[in-house]
Structure 1
């Protein structure tokens, strides 16, 4: 009986030793949530500087679309900003003008200009497969994705005398139909209506009524009486206006029902014939606007002051200062709102969680 008790004790002690030995391996193979979060905060300098043209935007919370020139060809890459992996998805001849991502991040519009007074529009998916392609005679053009239907866009082509024509592009049908609209700079207001500022043809003005027009029956409705700038988002409409001739200016967010969600007031820098709207981006799904705000009033042409980067919650009306001294440069935020591409070529990343800025370009021969 005594021998049996000793055997059980030895067996029990061996089990404890065995479990202790196994535990470190399990810990190493399963990083803690804190380690995972830390790894996500650590971005790598993954983009070769040589041949770099620009970053277009976020395809996911970790992947961006980048454009570079290689051997006289413009190439499009998907880069992961956390692990440095990359994949080339498409090439075009070196006549690249610009690119834009669809609201659902699944399609890429590429504007190239293979000949004078001509544009080629190519729409590909994330695998590089062509969904739509068309040559369009134009001196210049603008385009706007439909946030309510990712299969359609608005495109305006300009002639050399700045006469214009607005088209509705349908990717699935591969069609481009003209739309009768009085103004060239239009955005989608719903799946079947567009927005534009109704500028006077007889006098110069810095503001105009904001009009919604149904493209099916042509019916018009005034949405805002006087606006200097507008932008339609998924869940709200931004209108910028002033109740006084020289400001201050109100950023007002309007719900699809017409109710005012929230608003905030800032001073804008003046320009020769209008007012400067600093770069901003809306983080869809959270209702958070990230925007630059001038720290001092004045004229943009002679402005020597700094800009603050602020976050505005369009639902609660709460404001947060993210940075108080940054150069005014384009900004575009990831879908989860944790990071923003930043810079004239979107070559940097602002981490909004730890208030750091990372340079993504890597000079040849430099350490990661």
Structure 2
């Protein structure tokens, strides 16, 4: 049976987070050695900007290694998935797809690419490709809107919710390895993968999305359910060994980011100013690095998104280290390579940030 969504504005908020602003001058962290002692970093001196594209530029997907970036171009009705090596300058087309591309993602373990396409308003398809361009699977979903989350370690597993024109929805867990589809019963369509085979959803209180809710964990294999003791939860995200639970403080002035490591249960909590978009909390996007640390944005003060200053800081949070500022500047999209050495920034991810030095430079030349 389809379930009705009670928090339609939450879904709209997810769609709005891609609207970002421009980069300001980067923050230059202090150096731990003197200029006389400092040796040039050969790797950082070999960045080769891309100037010749295979077709018209569409968008950047992200990193498939510490040096390779995937991006999309278009030639007439064909969409091309390209790779570019920032140190050698190697630029090649991996594969071509003829349907309009709605979204593209790279799995966190860098093993697969997922392309969401749609040629009409009532259905969408998720295509799974190898990094060599071989199509491994295709799932077609009848829906007017689609939300999905990829398991952080098992690239065959996805959770998705299909929304219909009357804003009812159905949720499922799909395995591309076995082609098995399981219906998932939940009142929260925006589930997120947690540890192992668990899906996290938030039990939101009736007509009150600002107070947050409790975390519900459902094991997709055993079907066992558990309610977390944590309260005021507004967001959750996980990587292979670490998860973060974002909650709102009792006075609603702080976001509390609690990082939990699975293997030993060690946890750390950071307090950042809370941001709201009128009736909903605005949780800045989160990027996980290969060492289990995460990047996100910190606002200069609590308040409404439209009223607070635009000077957000890109910060790094770790279970074992204090919070570190990576870049000072307004809120915008970012994508970092697995090592955290480089991050793509900018409205179209057209700039490359050298994290250690704070220097930014364009890695791709886009026509005006």
Provide the TM-score with structure 1 as the length reference: 0.82
Q: CA 1:129–1:305 in 2, change beyond 3 Å: closer, same or farther?
A: closer
Q: Indicate whether 1:248 and 2:251 are aligned.
A: no
Query: Contact 1:280 / 1:330 at 8 angstroms: preserved in 2?
Result: no
Judge conservation of contact 2:235–2:247 (CA < 8 Å) in 1: yes
1:190 and 1:102 map into 2 onto residues whose CA distance is 16
Secondary structure of 1:204 counterpart: coil
Q: Which residue of 2 aligns with 1:150?
A: 155
How far apart, in 2, do the equivalents of 1:48 and 1:175 lie?
A: 43
- The worse-fitting range, judged by mean Cα deviation, of 216-225 and 40-49 is 40-49
Q: Distance in 2 between matches of 1:358 and 1:42?
A: 12
| Count of residues in Structure 1 that have an aligned counterpart in Structure 2 | 327
Per the alignment, do residues 333 and 97 of structure 1 end up closer, same or farther by CA in structure 2, a change over 3 Å counting?
same
2:281 alignment counterpart: 275
Q: Which moved more, 1:121-130 or 1:87-96?
A: 87-96
Q: Does 1:234 align with 2:237?
A: no
Partner of 2:303: helix, strand, or coil?
coil
TM-score of the superposition, structure 2-length normalised? 0.82
Change (3 A) 1:196 1:114: same
1:353: which partner in 2?
A: 356
| Structure 1 position 94, deviation (Å) | 4.7
- On the 8 A contact 1:114/1:120 being kept in 2, the answer is no
Contact 2:333 2:346 (C-alpha < 8 Å) held by counterparts: yes
Secondary structure at 1:301 match in 2: coil
What pairs up with 1:176-215 in 2 under 5 angstroms?
A: 176-200=181-205, 202-206=206-210, 207-215=212-220
Which has more radius of gyration? 1
Name which of 324, 327, 334 aligns with 1:320. Answer: 324
Measured after TM superposition, the shift of residue 48 of structure 1 is 4.5
Q: Which has the higher helix share?
A: 1
- Give the distance between the partners of 2:296 and 2:198, measured in 1 at CA: 27
Residue pair 2:57, 2:74 contacting (<8 A) in 1 also? yes
TM alignment of 1:275-294, pairs within 5 A: 275-284=281-290, 286-294=291-299
Listed as ranges, the gaps of 5+ residues in structure 2 are: 1-38
2: CA distance, partners of 1:259 / 1:64 = 34
Q: Give the drift of 1:197.
A: 0.6
CA deviations on 1:89-109 (whole Å, 9 max, x unpaired) are 111225110011112111011
Which 5+ residue runs of structure 1 have no aligned equivalent? 1-33
Deviates more, 1:234-243 or 1:297-306: 297-306
